[in-house]
Amino acid sequence: MRFGTDGIRGRANAALTPELCLKVGRAVARVVGGSTVAVGRDPRHSGQLIEAALAAGICAEGVDVALLGVVPTPAVAAFAAAEGVAGVMISASHNPAEDNGIKVFGPGGTKLSDEAQDQIERAISDEPWSEPDARVPTGAAVGVLRPVPSVLEDDQRRLRAAIEGRRLSGLSVVLDCANGAASEVAPAVFAELGAATMVLNASPDGMNINDGCGSTHPEGLCDAVRESGADVGFAFDGDADRVLAVDRTGRLIDGDQLLAIAARDLKERGRLRNNGVAVTVMTNLGFRKAMAAEGIVVVETPVGDRHVLEAIDREGLSLGGEQSGHLIFRDLATTGDGVLGAVVIADILTRTATPLDTLADSAMTRLPQVLRNVTLAERDPSLLERVRDEIDAATRQLGDSGRVLVRQSGTEPMVRVMVEATDAQVAVSVAEQLVDAVAAAHR
Catalytic residue numbers, as ranges = 93
Give Dmax over CA atoms of the chain in angstroms: 69
Compute the distance between CA of residue 214 and CA of residue 339 in angstroms, rounded to an integer. 13
Report how far Cα 118 is from the mean position of its chain's Cα atoms: 21
Q: Decide: residue 56, CB within 10 A, 0-12 exposed, 13-18 middle, 19+ buried.
A: middle
Transcribe 43-82 into DSSP letters: S-TTHHHHHHHHHHHHHHTT-EEEEEEE--HHHHHHHHHH
Compute the distance between CA of residue 401 and CA of residue 149 in angstroms, rounded to an integer. 54
Compute the distance between CA of residue 371 and CA of residue 366 in angstroms, rounded to an integer. 14
Name the phi and psi angles at 400, rounded to 5.
-80, -5
Compute the distance between CA of residue 340 and CA of residue 328 in angstroms, rounded to an integer. 9
Quick check: helix, strand or coil at residue 338?
A: helix
